Structure formats: structure tokens, C-alpha cells
A = this chain, B = another copy of it.
Amino acid sequence: MKKKVSLKDIAQKVGVSIALVSYVLNNKKQGRISEEISKKIRDTAQKLNYRPNQIAKSLKTNKTNTIGLVVADIANPFSSTIARIIEDEAEKNNYTVIVGSSDEKEERSKRIINVMLDRQVDGIIFAPAANDQPLIEYLQKSKVPFVLIDRYFPGLKVNYVAVNNTEASFTGVEHLVMAGCRRIGFIGFKTTLSHLQDRKKGYQSALKKNGITVSKSWIKEVPIDTSAEEVKEAIKALLALPEPIDALFFASNKVSTLGLKYINRLGLKVPNDLKILSFDQSDATDLFYATLTHIRQPLDEMGKVAVQTLVELMTRPKKITQIHLPAKLVIGQSTGVNTIEQPV
């Protein structure tokens, strides 16, 4: 690796002191240094491709105009779409975003957060992994402003922007009940993350409210880094029940993408053989032969509000902001209810 050009290199080349080079390149002591020497130093710096050390500079100004974004898994369309929205919104505010993934692991969360703190980001937007509370407390102590996104920890007094998961699931599952479903299966994640727990709660209370006793055998929970095989086994088990399910609620886009692939392979006809509801969607679920009834998360708003909240925090300390945005139920063919095109 070639060494970076330093002030010393320029000083040696021109035959002056390092201090003099520093004065000229930092526009100090102007008028006290001859024009000729100044020009020679500047020309040499350019010729040698000297790169002023922005980090050393930012140590003084305490501002780097960068935002760190930590997502769960950049390969998940939810994360990558929201990353793109945050990049665009940050750009409007004159910030550049650097992104990293936690892979739902505390250790990796901590490493990427540290990299961002070390890189002196002005603020952080963070989708924490399960059990990341200690890391959030660590962030609080770092004094760097941060906003959680998508996930939150009830009880922790930190800024976050999330979705109304319980209400959204409730509405979606109630729609299934209205569509005539009585045995509604649920495939979600086995996790303590409250936004995912809330989706299960919404499912359970919608059934309860409609006089349906939830059977434990209807609820399947796969690991958060689930494989296609685990989702397949969950669906198989739900279909093999003495009284098989008549509808299925996929509690995340990852589960629905994997689940629909298997349902395609099985040759099951949606919505006739099985009605489907999905929390979140993606290009993938868009290409399923039956358009998918799904809970659409307000990704655009979530990303924008997160950036705006962070920018406000960076300019002046504020009270804690905790925002739950409403999600929308989008009715497609997969729940078998005829939809009427609404004029826009």
C-alpha cells in the first residue's frame, strides 16, 4: 500500500518547514507569507495529490454531515427499500448515509455501531436486534443522537419511529374473518422483538373479538433467520391438522415470500383452497398469480420521519419522540373478497 502524502512530504519537496505548509494549506497567517512561496506550496500539494485530512478537521468542527444507518439484514427488501428512502431523504438535508447490517445479532450490532461512532457520524438510525437493550443504553451514553426504526423496546425512553403493528394485524385478520375464514393459521417469528410480538397479539385479539377460540396448533413460529425448509414444515403441519386451516396469515415478507413459493409448488389454489394475508409485501409477492391481500407498511413515511426526527435532534435537544405510524390494509385477490376499483 502506498503511503498517503503528508504535510512533511510537501515541506521536503518545497524546502520549507512543515508549519509553513500547514499555514498555507489552512489559510492561516495570510499576508505574512510571500505569494511566491504560497503558490509553490499549493502547486506542490496539488501535484502530489495531497488530501487534507477531513477527519482531523471534523474533530475540530465536530460535524461530519454523515448519518449511520444500521438495518437488520440489508438483503431483506424491507431493509434495503427503507435504506434507499433514508438515503434520499438524508440527501435533501445535506447528509450522506453509511449503512451496515446487524444480521439480527447483538455482537454484530455492537461492532457496526462502534464503527459508526468511530467514524464520527452526526447521528444514527438503528433497527435494533432482539436483546439489544444494553447496546441502546451504550448509545445513549455516547451522546450521539439516534432514532430507532421499525423496532422498539417498551419501557426504554428513546426516540423511535415504528408501525402500529397490533392494530394493523387486527384489521387484517378481521378482514379474513369477514371473508368467512374460521381456522386461521399464523406463521411468525420466534423472537422477543416487540414489533413481531405485536403482530401475534393483533391476530389473537381479532379472533377473540370475533368469538373464535385460537387453537395453539394454528400458531407456528420459525427462527428469525428462517430457512425455506422451516417455513415449508410449518405450512405442512397447518395443512395436516385434523381440521386444516382455511386461511393463513404470514407475519412478515420473508415468511410470505418463502411460504408462497411452497404453496406454488404444492399447486394449492389461492384463494379457493386457502386464503392468504401477508404483513408487508415486496416485488416478490407482487408477482404471485393472485394479487396479495397485505398490510402495507408506510415505508416512505417511516424513513422520512426517522431522518427528520434525527435532524431535529442533531440541531437541538428535544423531548423523546415515539411515533407509531398507521399501516394500511390492501385487499387483493388472495382473500377471495371481490374488490371494487375505487376511483382515484
| A interface with B by C-beta (< 8 Å) | 1-5, 49, 51, 53-56, 58-59, 62, 64, 66, 68, 73-77, 79-81, 83-84, 87, 91, 96-101, 103, 108, 111-112, 115-120, 141-143, 145, 257, 260-261, 264, 282-289, 313-317
Evaluate whether A3 and B284 lie within 8 angstroms (CB atoms) in the complex, with A77-B77, A99-B100 already known.
no
- The answer on a CB contact under 8 Å between B64 and A118 is yes
* Distance A48 CA – B143 CA, assembled complex (angstroms): 11
Our pick among B81, B117, B283, B317 for the contact of A1 (Cβ within 8 Å) is B317
- The answer on a CB contact under 8 Å between A87 and B101 is yes
- The answer on a CB contact under 8 Å between A111 and B83 is no
Chain B residue nearest in CB terms to A108: B91
Evaluate whether A81 and B87 lie within 8 angstroms (CB atoms) in the complex, with A54-B118, A96-B112 already known.
no
Our pick among B56, B75, B316 for the contact of A83 (Cβ within 8 Å) is B75
Return chain B residues, CB-CB under 8 Å to A84. 73-75, 101
Return chain B residues, CB-CB under 8 Å to A261. 286-287
Count this chain's copies in the assembly.
2
- The answer on a CB contact under 8 Å between A100 and B112 is no
Evaluate whether A100 and B87 lie within 8 angstroms (CB atoms) in the complex, with A143-B4, A289-B289 already known.
yes
Instruction: Determine how close the nearest CB of chain B comes to the CB of A282; give it in whole angstroms.
Output: 7
Return chain B residues, CB-CB under 8 Å to A115. 66, 96, 98
Return chain B residues, CB-CB under 8 Å to A108. 91
Return chain B residues, CB-CB under 8 Å to A116. 98
- The answer on a CB contact under 8 Å between B80 and A75 is yes
Instruction: Determine how close the nearest CB of chain B comes to the CB of A267; give it in whole angstroms.
Output: 11
> What would be 5 A-B contacts, judged by CB atoms less than 8 Å apart?
A1-B314, A75-B80, A84-B101, A98-B115, A119-B120
* Distance A326 CA – B108 CA, assembled complex (angstroms): 33
Return chain B residues, CB-CB under 8 Å to A289. 264, 289
* Distance A5 CA – B142 CA, assembled complex (angstroms): 9
* Distance A141 CA – B108 CA, assembled complex (angstroms): 33
Our pick among B55, B74, B142 for the contact of A118 (Cβ within 8 Å) is B55
- By CB atoms of chain B within 10 A, which of A56, A87, A120, A283 has the most? A283
Evaluate whether A1 and B141 lie within 8 angstroms (CB atoms) in the complex, with A84-B75, A98-B99, A257-B287 already known.
no
Return chain B residues, CB-CB under 8 Å to A317. 1-2
Chain B residue nearest in CB terms to A263: B287
Return chain B residues, CB-CB under 8 Å to A103. 87
Return chain B residues, CB-CB under 8 Å to A79. 80
* Distance A315 CA – B1 CA, assembled complex (angstroms): 7
Instruction: Determine how close the nearest CB of chain B comes to the CB of A177; give it in whole angstroms.
Output: 27
* Distance A228 CA – B1 CA, assembled complex (angstroms): 45
Return chain B residues, CB-CB under 8 Å to A96. 100, 111-112, 115
